[in-house]
Chains A and B, each alone.
Chain A
Amino acid sequence: DQQVKQNSPSLSVQEGRISILNCDYTNSMFDYFLWYKKYPAEGPTFLISISSIKDKNEDGRFTVFLNKSAKHLSLHIVPSQPGDSAVYFCAALNQAGTALIFGKGTTLSVSS
């Protein structure tokens, strides 16, 4: 059973518009979440994280929102740029703090 789900395999957005990537989780004990971005043939790059004591964290064009009651988080990219085109992975830190549990990723394509 997948504990972290990214139900949209792909998303296409025009340059300058907002990209919204969604993620759901099943384990209410998860308390730390991260987003990673991955280009082909490279390792994932850390983007932004959020602790369960917050409902929002912002870093430049990237904002992550956490809705604990819905077990849902989202990543907003505003404005989207062509260089943002990549696979985005949502991850939750396991309770022991020893491993990240990843979703399957969403491929974002930003067209100019």
Chain B
Amino acid sequence: GAGVSQSPSNKVTEKGKDVELRCDPISGHTALYWYRQSLGQGLEFLIYFQGNSAPDKSGLPSDRFSAERTGGSVSTLTIQRTQQEDSAVYLCASSLARQETQYFGPGTRLLVL
């Protein structure tokens, strides 16, 4: 079946601009996660959504970052006023439920010039 999909696959933007990254989870998966991987680093948790519950935003690095999940399916991660240190690969994952195995999408490579 179809896996997690993310768009765009690559994004180049100028410092100070806003960007939106999209994630389509696996159909039927109620839990959705965003991570990012900076150069030479492991994956860093950003935010978690589970059904209609309030999201766990504890990993968001600043108030410039926000995410929403509409209709319990597609999610959008928004970064406002991008900075060069936001350059990273942003990865989305989904799982059947909390504590189940997470399956990752291919990521969006963001470069802030």
Contacts and interface: CB of A to CB of B under 8 A. Distances in A.
Interface of A: 4, 6, 32, 34, 36, 41-46, 49, 89, 91, 93-94, 96-105
A9 to B, nearest CB: 9
Interface centre among A41, A45, A89 (most CB of B within 10 A): A41
A100 B45 contact: yes
B45 A43 contact: no
Contacts of A93: 99
A101 B56 CA distance: 14
A104 B104 contact: no
Nearest to A49: B101
Interface of B: 4, 33, 35, 40-45, 48, 50, 56, 58-59, 91, 93, 98-99, 101-107
A44 B104 contact: yes
Given A100-B35, A100-B43, 11 more contacts: A36-B104, A42-B107, A43-B93, A43-B104, A44-B104, A46-B101, A98-B33, A99-B56, A102-B42, A102-B43, A104-B41
Interface centre among A4, A34, A45, A102 (most CB of B within 10 A): A102
A41 B105 CA distance: 11
